[in-house]
Structure 1
Amino acid sequence: MADHDDETPATGSAVEKSEPRQASAGTAVVPTDTFENPGHPPHKLRITDTDPKEEKSAERQVSGLFFLSIIFSCAAVAAYIVFPIKTGDIASVRLNTLFLGLGIALGLLSIGIGAVHWSKTLMSDREITEMRHLTKGSEVTRTKAAEVFTLGNQESGFGRRALIRNSLFGALIAFVLPGVVIFRDLGPKVDPNVVLKHTIWKKGTHLTLDPSGIRVKAADVTLGSAFHIIPETLLDSDDLLEEKAKAAVLLMRLDPSDLHEPAGRENWQYNGIVAYSKICTHVGCPVALYEQQTHHLLCPCHQSTFDVTQNCEVIFGPANRPLPQLPITVDADGYLIAQSDFHEPVGPSFWERQR
């Protein structure tokens, strides 16, 4: 009996093996008492943890990288101005792209290197163990989340390291400046209201098919049809794309009895043929879908819908004003012509404008 007792391991020892417990579905569960938790390895202090001078030096290096990012971002803006793109000069394109790209890339790279250096030398690097648990939106969970953010702030030193924090904010603000300058430069050089208020349509300009430029006869426009129209003078314009973006028109023919035009616009159509700007008044997408049964025009970008029978009033979607109407008539040969330009600005309505 004594020999038998000596061979029996003590209950709860690290080498004890128990029968695996069974889950409700019959799947074996690995027992938890077959190994010991080794714990965390000994924590090794960094030089910045033991030497205040090294800590200050690392802080200056991180903030220096953030300040360097500011310099590179400003340099990108300067390069965009110093090396402008000239029409027909491929060398100017290369120089502009090279220095602009270098400035933006180095600005972002400096932020990245600074953030990594910060985390490796100054943020807390102690190993921790977190028990997994179900995430619930209870008050306890929210309180715990707030504690985690507070702890993260304490460990990173974000709240108390003013030099790093302020230089990081400056770097992030400066980094967006090249994008702001570039995209602003894509816009018109003058008041957008002035640019969008006038197109190349004028009295007597023939309506022609897009893109062929063939003139359109009123007799060829049948009920329920829709045509994409450009002014005849567009093909002779030096700024073809820019002018087309403002002057493109949709031409449709309805039964005149279906049209409910406001006072003063009764003569803007010809025998039920109406012409409206193709440029959506939301953000300028091309309105290209016409439903001949309901007489609705649909913008495919954000689903703004316009009712042609009601002077293209908005009946659905984010657009907040009707499509501008182009007054039309016919010439002596029966071809459709414009009576004048649009009487209001075309395109998006977010520009500051007086109506």
Structure 2
Amino acid sequence: MSTQDIPEEENLPAAQDKHAGEVAVPDDPFADPGLPPHEPRIQDIDEKAARRSERAVAFMFTLSMLATVGFIASFVAFPVDKIVYIFPLGHVSALNFALGTTLAVALFCIGAGAVHWARTLMSDHEIVHERHPIEATPEVREQVFQDFRDGAADSGFGRRKLARNTLFGALALFPLSAVVLLRDLGPLPEDKLRRSKWAKGKRLMNQNTMQPLRPEDISVGSLTFAMPEGMSEHDHDFQTQIAKAALMIVRIQPDNIKDKRELDWSHEGIVAFSKICTHVGCPISLYEQQTHHVLCPCHQSTFDLADGGRVIFGPAGHALPQLRITVNDEGYLEAMGDFAEPVGPAFWERG
């Protein structure tokens, strides 16, 4: 029997043996498949669709501007203590809710408008650059600048004036929200930091007994704390006012006072200085009677009360303000005016 007479089924094992162990291997399993063919967007081929996208972008930027205006209006319109019910939040501050909502809308619309602009109106052609050395050649730098110019042209920033101008409006208006927030940090101080409750004719009141002080109440070597007449611990702004008006009084032998102005502003060696340290505003309470020095317990700034309250050690920036005092017709110590300079840290010297 010839091989031609053998059935096809009988030749199959021989064929399998011939190709046994052979596996089909692709040429390069890690080959770069490349980018898929670019498919144009509807905005690329239909100018009406492009204009619709531009109007959508402008709408979002305009909505951002309106939300910023709403933020400022909410700040003015809603009182701080107004509470409203909003489902599902429950009872919330109307001011906080309005500020948060309008600020979120203003931010979201700027971002959403920019993203929509990039996805629908800017060029979406994929650009591939091979890796290159870190130091660019002049040709590469020129190519980068050219790519930037091409990107600016492709973005339509100069051609899409409606979207561009509303973007500028949203970005210009949104920072006003920050101005309002900063203004909300507190009322403007105006001249409040420069003035205290001391005034001409106000008696010096012992802060412990709340009784007016006479010269004979102040002994040599003692330290007495005082405040202006008319102040009370029950006043709603007592802590604010005492932080500027707190006074310490000592009696020094007139011969030991070195500063002539201090001597002129005293009464029989009784001198009155601000109790507030000129470093960061801590209250001074430690007095050394032999040296006439007072020490701030916070950062150890030391002042000489016999020499105009000047700084002799520590980080304080300037001398303690002195209060000019005298004795009235009834024999009580009284102020002849306010402090000559603001008390506390030397903010005013920076002006």
Query: Would you say same fold, with TM above 0.5?
Result: yes
- 8 Å contact 1:204–1:339 — kept in the other structure? no
Secondary structure at the residue paired with 2:35? coil
Query: How much has 1:51 moved relative to structure 2?
Result: 0.9
Query: How much has 1:234 moved relative to structure 2?
Result: 6.3
- 8 Å contact 1:324–1:343 — kept in the other structure? no
Which residue number corresponds to residue 72 of structure 1?
A: 67
Q: How far apart in 1 are the matches of 2:58 and 2:232?
A: 55
After TM superposition, the structure 1 stretch with the greater mean CA deviation from structure 2, 151-160 or 70-79, is 151-160
Alpha carbons of structure 1 residues 50 and 286: separation in structure 2 relative to 1, 3 Å: farther
Q: How far apart in 2 are the matches of 1:132 and 1:330?
A: 85
Q: How far apart in 2 are the matches of 1:338 and 1:184?
A: 36
Q: How far apart in 2 are the matches of 1:258 and 1:201?
A: 27
Q: How far apart in 2 are the matches of 1:310 and 1:140?
A: 72
Which residue number corresponds to residue 47 of structure 2?
A: 52
- What's the CA shift string for 1:286-310, capped at 9, x where partnerless? 46899x9x9998999xxxx998778
- What's the CA shift string for 1:17-38, capped at 9, x where partnerless? xxxxxxxxxxxxxxxxx85433
Aligned residue among 288, 313, 321 for 1:325: 321
- 8 Å contact 2:276–2:283 — kept in the other structure? no
Which residue number corresponds to residue 37 of structure 2?
A: 42
Q: How far apart in 1 are the matches of 2:76 and 2:274?
A: 42
Question: What is the TM-score with the length of structure 1 in the denominator?
Answer: 0.59
Alpha carbons of structure 1 residues 324 and 103: separation in structure 2 relative to 1, 3 Å: farther
Secondary structure at the residue paired with 2:274? strand
1:343 aligns with 2:334: no
After TM superposition, the structure 1 stretch with the greater mean CA deviation from structure 2, 138-147 or 173-182, is 138-147
Which residue number corresponds to residue 119 of structure 2?
A: 120
- 8 Å contact 1:123–1:156 — kept in the other structure? yes
Residue identity in the other structure for 1:325:
P
- 8 Å contact 2:278–2:319 — kept in the other structure? yes
- 8 Å contact 2:243–2:276 — kept in the other structure? no
Q: How far apart in 2 are the matches of 1:62 and 1:135?
A: 38
Query: How much has 1:326 moved relative to structure 2?
Result: 3.6
Question: What is the TM-score with the length of structure 2 in the denominator?
Answer: 0.60
Residue identity in the other structure for 1:118:
W
- Number of residue equivalences: 299
Alpha carbons of structure 1 residues 234 and 136: separation in structure 2 relative to 1, 3 Å: farther
Query: How much has 1:204 moved relative to structure 2?
Result: 3.4
Q: How far apart in 2 are the matches of 1:129 and 1:249?
A: 75
Which residue number corresponds to residue 28 of structure 1?
A: none
Q: How far apart in 2 are the matches of 1:220 and 1:185?
A: 45
1:199 aligns with 2:196: yes
Identity over aligned pairs, percent: 32
Alpha carbons of structure 1 residues 35 and 187: separation in structure 2 relative to 1, 3 Å: closer
Alpha carbons of structure 1 residues 71 and 325: separation in structure 2 relative to 1, 3 Å: same
Residue identity in the other structure for 2:122:
M
Query: Larger Cα Rg: Structure 1 or Structure 2?
Result: 2
Secondary structure at the residue paired with 1:236? coil
Alpha carbons of structure 1 residues 106 and 201: separation in structure 2 relative to 1, 3 Å: same
Residue identity in the other structure for 2:341:
E
Query: How much has 1:53 moved relative to structure 2?
Result: 0.7
Query: How much has 1:275 moved relative to structure 2?
Result: 3.2
Residue identity in the other structure for 2:104:
A
1:183 aligns with 2:182: yes
Q: How far apart in 1 are the matches of 2:155 and 2:107?
A: 21
- 8 Å contact 2:50–2:121 — kept in the other structure? yes
Over aligned residues, Cα RMSD in angstroms?
A: 5.5
